[in-house]
């Protein structure tokens, strides 16, 4: 593969949860706790994980909506937030669509004004911004003559999400971060929006970071998939390789939780028991060891590194001691990664 | 819209119409629902937002604001005429005969009392037993829903529990007075995938064990398949298709059900393929089209569909569809 469009290294975000007498934070929750990944031009990277795993925090960190505690983000080889690439310039390249289509639009602006607002902030003339808004409305399947003058409360959920997508595209970004963008939509409308996203990606040569809790939708949309658990990357690999040959026990359990849709083969037993632990007080070592059927001493003692297999055609990364040579785990998998990956 | 059966229905909804009159225009959220629930049976009520599935469910416990809601038709739970219940009789009915679990246990439970206190209160209120006895029963219930270290958890407040644990506690609360009918309103929708499976399996197991009759409202077909004996698909306030899980999943006959089944991204699909989508969006309930409400989005719609609401047609034993063009939807 070519050099990545976006490189994320050692990204950490801690939120204060308790303050002492003097207003200084004493306890932190690490919502994102040291994650690394690349985003390549033209791909769709799906991000899955359960609530509290840090997927939305990752999206907000990428957009610089919140400041990372540590770590770097490089875009096209330039470090974001430095003189090389100021945040404002970076934001024009990366835009975001949120889950709540209603809360993310200004209720006092018409659809046309909402879409044209961003470009004018970035120095595009009002006239050109309006023209861009109308052509984008057409592009997302909303007739500009009918919809340009409407307010957001006059739209259905699916229509509002189309406006949000048009607004995100108004700055002609290269990357779109979609944070549960279809999760609030009804199933019959969801398919329409997914098809629209696929069309737009092709038409504008976009790169997507597609965050969702819905494993089926992620499989449909993504080139590669990143699985998060309690603020860490558990697994990252090509979509079909990961769905048909998952390496991390958590990914396997997550996929095993998919319901069968077959009344003659109902799920007989849950793949894992218990709830995800509280991220304020994460378990030591591998974050998953408290729920993992293969957990051994080494799993609670040391945090596993993210390694790719030595024989992978396309790199398939996993953070699990069973896949790390010389980890001392008794169930070491064959073809495990070289130590230096 | 159900097959005749020797056994009597434990719950019988007939011609149910629910109209909300609080707004500027009356909104008919449920428009003629007939549904019989047999003893020990689980029916999944499937539909999208605004289809009337939750409104139907809540009508059974009369949870809608009295002054702003008009309920017509009939709801009977065995010998009880639910729509005629008043005051004390209604309070006795709720929780004792028919009980309900909600999507968000954090909102359904009282945050200032411990979970155990809420369960014992419910038991004492409905059955004349001592506090000690009520506490013993609460403990048994917690063991039944498999909450670890149940004695300690009885003294926990709702916010001290995780999402899955809270949902288990709410199931315990709903079962506290041995109801005959359990209503579930999207009980696993707010849960993570790995926790959802656990709760679904628990509900299925309890239903078997206690012989409960259940109505399970969900927007997710796969959840319905996992727990139900029959599936009823709702659209714009009407049941448009009902039948055994096998019939509805394997040979759906209403164009809406067929559309829903095919829009699911399922299994290994090559990138670049498009999903078959249902065009348009669900109708405005205050402004329903005459005739079949799905006609404007339906690939098979003809002139006849706009004339009057289609009557249910039995396409195979116990499989009913409200569509006049079922000849076009039969599998070739």
Task: Give how far B96 is from chain A: nearest CA, Å.
Answer: 30
Residue whose C-alpha is closest to residue A108's, from A117, A96, A95, A99: A117
Backbone angles phi, psi at A275, to 5 degrees: -100, 160
Within 10 A of A221 (CB to CB), how many other CB atoms are there?
25
| Structural domain spans, chain A | 6-229, 283-341
Query: What is the CATH superfamily name and number for domain A6-229?
Result: P-loop containing nucleotide triphosphate hydrolases (3.40.50.300)
Mean pLDDT, to the nearest integer, of A227-233? 95
Beta-carbon contacts of A336 under 8 Å, excluding residues fewer than 6 positions away, are A307, A309, A310, A322, A323, A324, A325
Parallel, antiparallel, or unpaired: how do β-strands B213-218 and B42-46 relate? parallel
Give the SS3 label for residue A121: helix
Is B46 at the interface with chain A, CB within 8 A? no
Across the interface, whether the CB atoms of A271 and B194 are under 8 A apart is answered yes
Is A259 at the interface with chain B, CB within 8 A? yes
Q: What is the pLDDT along chain B (332 residues), one digit of tens a residue?
A: 444 445 679 999 999 999 999 888 899 999 999 999 999 999 999 999 889 999 999 999 999 999 999 999 999 999 999 999 999 999 999 999 999 999 888 888 899 999 999 999 999 988 889 999 999 999 999 999 999 899 999 999 999 988 889 999 999 999 999 999 999 999 998 888 889 999 999 999 999 999 999 999 999 999 999 999 999 999 999 999 999 999 999 999 999 999 998 887 765 454 556 788 888 888 888 888 889 999 999 999 999 998 988 999 999 999 999 999 988 888 64
CB-nearest partner of B245 from A156, A263, A276 = A263
Rounded Cα–Cα distance for residues A316 and A323 (Å) = 11
The mean pLDDT value of chain A amounts to 91
**Nearest residue in A to B221, CA atom:** A261
Radius of gyration of chain A (CA): 21
Across the interface, whether the CB atoms of B260 and A223 are under 8 A apart is answered no
Beta-carbon contacts of A79 under 8 Å, excluding residues fewer than 6 positions away, are A72, A73, A85
Q: How many CA atoms lie within 13 A of A206 on its CB side?
A: 30
Across the interface, whether the CB atoms of A269 and B195 are under 8 A apart is answered no
Task: Give how far A230 is from chain B: nearest CA, Å.
Answer: 13
- Residues 192-251 on A with a CB inside 8 Å of B are 192, 194-195, 198, 213, 215-217, 219-220, 223, 239-240, 243-244
Residue numbers in A near B247 (CB within 8 A): none
Rounded Cα–Cα distance for residues B322 and B307 (Å) = 14
Residue numbers in A near B193 (CB within 8 A): 50, 213, 215, 254, 257-258
Q: Per-residue DSSP letters for B258-282?
A: HHHHHHS--SS--TTPPPP---S-P
Convert the pLDDT of each residue in A95-144 to its tens digit: 999 988 788 899 999 999 999 999 999 999 999 999 999 999 999 999 99
- Over 60: is that where the pLDDT of A341 sits? no
Q: What is the pLDDT confidence band of residue A71, given thresholds at 50, 70 and 90? A: very high
Q: How many CA atoms lie within 13 A of B54 on its CB side?
A: 13
The yes/no answer to whether this complex scores an ipTM above 0.90 is no
């Amino acid at each position: 593969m070519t050099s990545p469009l976006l490189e994320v290294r050692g990204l950490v975000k801690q939120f204060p949860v308790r303050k002492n007498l003097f207003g200084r934070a004493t306890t932190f929750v690490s919502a994102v706790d040291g994650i690394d990944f690349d985003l390549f031009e033209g791909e769709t990277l799906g991000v899955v994980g359960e609530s509290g795993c840090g997927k939305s925090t990752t999206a907000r960190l990428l957009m610089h909506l919140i400041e990372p505690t540590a770590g770097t983000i490089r875009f096209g080889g330039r470090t974001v937030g430095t003189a090389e690439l100021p945040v404002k310039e970076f934001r024009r390249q990366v835009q975001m669509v949120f889950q709540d289509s209603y809360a993310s639009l200004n209720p006092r602006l018409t659809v046309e004004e909402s879409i044209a607002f961003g470009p004018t902030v970035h120095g595009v003339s009002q006239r050109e911004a309006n023209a861009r808004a109308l052509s984008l409305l057409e592009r997302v399947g909303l007739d500009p003559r009918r919809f340009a003058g409407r307010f957001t409360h006059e739209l259905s959920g699916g229509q509002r999400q189309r406006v949000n997508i048009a607004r995100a595209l108004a700055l002609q970004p290269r990357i779109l971060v979609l944070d549960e963008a279809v999760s609030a939509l009804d199933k019959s409308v969801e398919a329409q929006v997914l098809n629209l996203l696929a069309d737009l990606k092709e038409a504008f040569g976009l790169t997507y970071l597609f965050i969702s809790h819905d494993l089926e939708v992620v499989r449909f949309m993504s080139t590669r998939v990143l699985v998060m658990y309690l603020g860490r990357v558990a697994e990252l690999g090509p979509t079909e390789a990961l769905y048909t040959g998952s390496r991390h026990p958590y990914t396997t359990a997550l996929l095993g939780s998919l319901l069968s849709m077959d009344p003659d083969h109902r799920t007989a037993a849950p793949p894992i028991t218990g709830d995800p632990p509280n991220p304020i007080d994460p378990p030591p070592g591998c974050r998953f060891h408290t729920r993992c059927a293969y957990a051994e001493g080494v799993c609670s003692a040391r945090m596993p590194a993210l390694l790719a297999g030595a024989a992978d055609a396309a790199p398939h990364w996993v953070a699990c001691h069973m896949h790390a040579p010389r980890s001392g785990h008794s169930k070491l998998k064959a073809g495990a990664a070289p130590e230096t990956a | 819209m159900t097959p005749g059966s020797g056994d009597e229905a434990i719950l019988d909804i007939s011609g149910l119409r629910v109209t909300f009159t609080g707004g500027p225009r009356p909104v008919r959220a449920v428009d003629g629902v007939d549904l019989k629930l047999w003893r020990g049976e689980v029916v999944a009520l499937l539909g999208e937002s605004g289809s009337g599935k939750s409104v139907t469910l809540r009508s059974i416990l009369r949870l809608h604001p009295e002054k702003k809601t008009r309920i017509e038709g009939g709801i009977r739970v065995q010998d009880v005429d639910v729509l005629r219940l008043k005051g004390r009789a209604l309070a006795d009915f709720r929780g004792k005969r028919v009980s309900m679990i909600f999507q968000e246990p954090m909102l359904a439970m009282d945050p200032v009392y411990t979970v155990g206190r809420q369960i014992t209160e419910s038991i004492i209120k409905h059955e004349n037993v001592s506090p000690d006895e009520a506490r013993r029963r609460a403990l048994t219930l917690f063991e039944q829903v498999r909450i670890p270290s149940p004695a300690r958890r009885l003294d926990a407040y709702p916010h001290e529990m995780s999402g899955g644990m809270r949902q288990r506690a709410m199931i315990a609360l709903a079962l506290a007075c041995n109801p005959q009918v359990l209503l579930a309103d999207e009980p696993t929708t707010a849960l993570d995938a790995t926790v959802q499976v656990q709760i679904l399996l628990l509900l299925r197991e309890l239903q078997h064990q206690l012989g409960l009759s259940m109505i399970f409202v969900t927007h997710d077909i796969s959840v319905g398949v996992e727990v139900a004996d029959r599936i009823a698909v709702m659209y714009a306030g009407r049941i448009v298709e009902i039948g055994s899980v096998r019939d509805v999943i394997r040979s759906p006959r209403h164009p809406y059900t067929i559309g829903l089944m095919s829009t699911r991204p399922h299994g290994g699909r090559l990138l670049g393929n498009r999903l078959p989508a249902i065009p348009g969006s669900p109708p405005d309930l205050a402004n329903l089209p005459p005739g079949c409400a799905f006609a404007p989005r339906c690939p098979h719609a003809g002139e006849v569909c706009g004339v009057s609401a289609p009557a249910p047609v039995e396409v195979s034993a116990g499989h009913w569809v409200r569509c006049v063009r079922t000849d076009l939807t039969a599998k070739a």
